[in-house]
Amino acid sequence: MPLDGKHALITGSSRGIGRGIALKLAEHRVGIAVHYYQNERAANDTLAEVRKRGSDGFVVQADVSRPDEIKQMFRKVQTQFKTLDVFVSNARPEVPAFFQAPLDITLAQWDTAFDSQAKAFLVGVREAIPLMSGGGRIIALTYAEGSRTGGLQPWVGMGSAKAALESLVRYFAVALAKRGITVNAISPGWTENSVLNTLPPQAQDLIRNWHVRGWTPMGRLGTPEDVGNVVTLFCSEQAGWITGQVIYADGGASLMNPEVPPEIQLG
């Protein structure tokens, strides 16, 4: 679809990857509903950048782990935009709200992960559909490594929630196929200017060096702009035959074999 004049809601677009997605779509003159949770100033900064790129939009606040707030968010989208073409479910709570190993995770932390991912997507998609027509695009941000591995123990809540999210993507893809609406997930690798930058500097260095040393064959971490480009591709008319997929956007990191050091694999 020509993107000019379309409307998108991107949850968690005040910062990080969501912001990168908002700004890439704005370059294509897509109107943007910039969603935030607590950081209104960052959301307003994103909106100012959207406008600098020749597009427009508004900011909207909601806790996506609360279905009533998701519904209010979509009422505002309906009032402002009337219709919606792109819904990107990207928001994710701060790491301490869910980061706990399987033997210790509290039910509140578990609920935070599931409510903000699987349940938020279930509710959000059902709110988005009445505003969408044929050619609509629904995209979820996942972290597929966390949904299929077990090594990073305190990721159990979010990993399990992302697995449920990816499953929902497939079920909704079938449910919405006849309406011409596609539903897909994007799985970025570690990305600069996002949650990574909230980790202790030593952890950031370890992660960056590991990827630059070879775990990411392209030799760098991703950026929010990289992910924004992938969302833009999904929003094109030419992507209309792709639905129900989890697409890795990670410079090849997911192709590496965890049993062999990167130096040997890369030759």
Please report, as ranges, the residues that interact with ligand NAP according to CB under 6 A. 11-12, 14-18, 36-39, 42, 62-65, 90-93, 116, 141, 143, 188, 190-191, 194-196
**C-beta separation of 17 from 95 below 8 A:** no
- What are the backbone angles phi and psi of residue 35, rounded to the nearest 5°? -100, 145
Contact 125, 70 (CB under 8 A): no
Nearer to ligand NAP, 133 or 233 (CB): 233
> CB of 72: closest distance to ligand NAP in angstroms?
12
Q: Closest residue to ligand NAP, Cβ-based?
A: 16
Q: How far is the CB of 20 from ligand NAP (least distance, A)?
A: 8
Q: Least distance from C-beta 238 to ligand NAP, angstroms?
A: 24
- Cα separation, 173 vs 97, whole angstroms: 30
Beta strand 182-188 with 137-141: parallel, antiparallel or unpaired?
parallel
Q: Which is nearer to ligand NAP, 62 or 103 (CB)?
A: 62
Tell me the closest approach of the beta carbon of residue 205 to ligand NAP, in angstroms: 15
Nearer to ligand NAP, 13 or 180 (CB): 13
CB of 148 to ligand NAP, least distance (A): 13
Contact indicator for 182, 247 with CB cutoff of 8 Å: no
Contact 26, 32 (CB under 8 A): yes
3-state percent helix, strand, coil for the chain, nearest multiple of 5:
55, 15, 35
Sign of CA dihedral 133, 137, 142, 148: positive
Amino acid at 216: T
Report the residue number, 81 or 248, with the smaller CB distance to ligand NAP.
Answer: 248
Cβ proximity to ligand NAP, 48 vs 177, nearer residue? 48
